[in-house]
Chain A
């Protein structure tokens, strides 16, 4: 019987360590609380607001509603769009082959379109634009290898997020919109994985991401946001203000860290 009812993260990269990640998943599976210590955000750089700034509440997602779920998607699309936009002028991109550049260039367009589309759909209910730690983003695009492995993590995480969040949507129209986007994220993930796979032919939907039941990765919003925090790229205080319907939670199978 687990005795833990909470887990504390003092550094974003702790999620990348198996022990803390496991205890995190264990706690979340039990409906426990996650506390991101201020130093997690501090380590991401100062966004000019600070944690006590009133505007920070605008980044707190209310996942009980479709608007909150779409804002969660909007936050992830902002991250992907910002990352690929920087990537286009990076050293990592310059080192890609022409075929590989076509992929990153396509992904940048698609993610920016997703971002602007969700912003338009949400209108005045949209969360503010997210700020990014450009030092980290630059580091994550500095070479072909890190550009591709980060892209894989972002795309797999996108797939896991949409797959885990669809059940919280109450409107069929919103579920359709999410469905139209998630399969494109899955295509992206497969393309990036295939580049990294060479001629092995299996990583596009590898056993690390599709389980024995033939089911793709999925993760609950807390897991996804913790994974995003661990990348140390987001400086805005993105958080879950009100969790999604707890009775609908299912066990996490989050996107694996690229190897």
Chain B
């Protein structure tokens, strides 16, 4: 048996990247000062490590993939900051104070705070994973980049203000946030196909978001007076605002709240509504051996959203302009 060399133990793709970058440098491309210093010291391992960082600093991720990761990171920061505000762990004391009333209501429901903590933990982990994969916070988002009332203002006061005082309204918003995340990742998966490792990571985040959405649906259904359209199975029935189930439109601007849920669960530019029952050209309401009607057919498949559609949904909650 031959003793494996150092390079044998490194992912072949990384070695290829290193070799390509090394060739660029040999043919006159500039290199980072750390790499120059390491080579001057004659240290191969240090030079290798420096070259590795140099490769990624040069942005070896194709622009298409980098763009998806950057966009995903923006959505994850949005989700993370939203749950931190709800839990009172945001670095923004103003947001923590704003959500204090609904926080007290959540504390009275067994398991609710634990669920919000578990979800926030995952969103924070997604941020770390995306950053480690090469994503950049291109919109320079911080805790104070968001207005969760949907007014794009640090002063708040937007259509979703009731999320800070009404637990049912808050959970409906959280469900919308999670379902938007599920649809957003689903819509971007194909763009990640050139990098199977990153695609797999994105798929694994995608299904976590779906678990979150399902648990929130179950919390909503368990509340008194919840309609049966909010399924205990955590699945999405119907399209547009009806798919949110028992939507409470609030008092500040019911029209905008309703329109937002229409966008979250409806059709967009090139994206089908969640009520879609035609997949790969097959109508799944009319399958031999599976005739359960439109509702079960709608629940059995989730739908993607394009990036532009997702931006249109979430932009009111981001103070800076995103794209």
Knowing A116-B289, A202-B118, the reply to whether A214 touches B111 (Cβ < 8 A) is: no
- Assess whether A188 is in contact with B234, with CB atoms less than 8 Å apart: yes
- Assess whether A176 is in contact with B304, with CB atoms less than 8 Å apart: yes
Identity of the chain B residue whose Cβ is nearest the Cβ of A215 in the assembled complex = B204
How far apart are A205's CB and chain B's nearest CB, in angstroms?
A: 4
CA–CA, A5 to B123, complex, Å?
A: 39
Which one of B43-51, B205-213, B256-264 is at the interface? Answer: B205-213
How far apart are B110's CB and chain A's nearest CB, in angstroms?
A: 4
Residues of B within 8 Å of A199, CB to CB, are 110-111
Which one of B57-65, B142-150, B164-172, B193-201 is at the interface? Answer: B193-201
Residues of A within 8 Å of B197, CB to CB, are 167, 250
Identity of the chain A residue whose Cβ is nearest the Cβ of B237 in the assembled complex = A106
Residues of B within 8 Å of A206, CB to CB, are 118
CA–CA, A190 to B296, complex, Å?
A: 18
Looking at A106, A113, A167, the one whose CB has the most chain B CB atoms below 10 A away is A113
Residues of B within 8 Å of A179, CB to CB, are 186, 189, 203, 206, 302, 304
Residues of A within 8 Å of B284, CB to CB, are 113, 116-117
- Assess whether A201 is in contact with B113, with CB atoms less than 8 Å apart: yes
- Assess whether B288 is in contact with A159, with CB atoms less than 8 Å apart: no
Q: Which of B118, B218, B292, B300 contacts A205 (CB 8 A)?
A: B118
CA–CA, A199 to B219, complex, Å?
A: 10
Knowing A167-B200, A186-B208, the reply to whether A191 touches B234 (Cβ < 8 A) is: yes
Residues of B within 8 Å of A189, CB to CB, are 211
Which one of B82-90, B125-133, B306-314 is at the interface? Answer: B125-133
Q: Which of B118, B122, B235, B290 contacts A187 (CB 8 A)?
A: B235
- Assess whether B206 is in contact with A113, with CB atoms less than 8 Å apart: no
How far apart are B4's CB and chain A's nearest CB, in angstroms?
A: 10
Looking at B123, B128, B207, B304, the one whose CB has the most chain A CB atoms below 10 A away is B207
CA–CA, A184 to B237, complex, Å?
A: 11
Q: Which of B203, B213, B280 contacts A177 (CB 8 A)?
A: B280
How far apart are A201's CB and chain B's nearest CB, in angstroms?
A: 3
How far apart are A254's CB and chain B's nearest CB, in angstroms?
A: 13
- Assess whether A205 is in contact with B212, with CB atoms less than 8 Å apart: yes
Number of interface residues of B (CB under 8 A): 67
Identity of the chain B residue whose Cβ is nearest the Cβ of A170 in the assembled complex = B193
* Per-residue contact bits, chain A 132-168, to B (CB 8 Å; 1 contact, 0 not): 0000000000000000000000000001001110110
Is B301 in the interface zone, CB < 8 Å from A? Answer: yes
CA–CA, A206 to B114, complex, Å?
A: 11
How many interface residues does chain A have, given as a range? 35 or more
Knowing A113-B300, A214-B125, the reply to whether A187 touches B199 (Cβ < 8 A) is: no
Residues of A within 8 Å of B26, CB to CB, are none
CA–CA, A203 to B226, complex, Å?
A: 23
Q: Which of B124, B193, B199, B233 contacts A103 (CB 8 A)?
A: B233
Q: Which residues 239-286 of B sit at the A interface, judged by CB distance below 8 A? A: 279-280, 282, 284
Is A102 in the interface zone, CB < 8 Å from B? Answer: yes
Residues of B within 8 Å of A172, CB to CB, are 190, 193
- Assess whether A214 is in contact with B279, with CB atoms less than 8 Å apart: no
- Assess whether B122 is in contact with A214, with CB atoms less than 8 Å apart: yes
Q: Which residues 100-131 of A sit at the B interface, judged by CB distance below 8 A? A: 100, 102-103, 106-107, 109-110, 112-117, 120-121
Given contacts A117-B290, A204-B212, 9 further A-B contacts (CB under 8 A): A166-B199, A176-B304, A185-B207, A191-B214, A197-B111, A206-B118, A215-B201, A247-B12, A250-B200
By a beta-carbon cutoff of 8 Å, the part of chain A in contact with chain B is 1, 99-100, 102-103, 106-107, 109-110, 112-117, 120-121, 159, 162-164, 166-167, 169, 172-173, 175-177, 179-191, 194, 197-202, 204-206, 210, 212-218, 247-248, 250
10 shortest interchain CB distances as A-B pairs? A201-B111, A214-B125, A201-B114, A199-B110, A106-B233, A167-B196, A186-B210, A190-B214, A172-B190, A187-B214
